[in-house]
Amino acid sequence: MHTQSRIPKLRDTTFDGALMWFSEMQCSKLLFHPEDDPADIFLISNGERMFSTDEVIELRYVLNEIEEDLGHEKLIEAAYPIFMKAFGNQLDA
């Protein structure tokens, strides 16, 4: 049986593509800090892993693709405004 992934597809590895991917992760309530290993993320509500083994592999692949093309700093910069919005902080334009 093949289950559909909850992980959004990465359209491209540009800065805007990474920004969109993080935004889609947030909309799906799957956002996590890109410096954290997705295998180490657990739900507080029940202590279960947030991501399946297949999703962990997919997430590592996507983050690696972004980092290879943009570099580590730009990867973090793309995630930053999404995290700030998720935490209720409005950034200046």
DSSP state of 36: S
Q: Would you write out the chain's pLDDT as a tens digit for each of its 93 residues?
A: 567 889 999 999 999 999 999 999 999 999 999 999 999 999 999 999 999 999 999 999 999 999 999 999 999 999 999 988 888 876 665
Q: Taking the CB of residue 25, how many other CB atoms lie within 10 A of it?
A: 21
- The C-alpha atoms of residue 71 and residue 78 are separated, in whole angstroms, by 11
Tell me the residue length of the chain: 93
The pTM score is: 0.88
pLDDT at 92 (0 to 100): 62
- The C-alpha atoms of residue 7 and residue 90 are separated, in whole angstroms, by 26
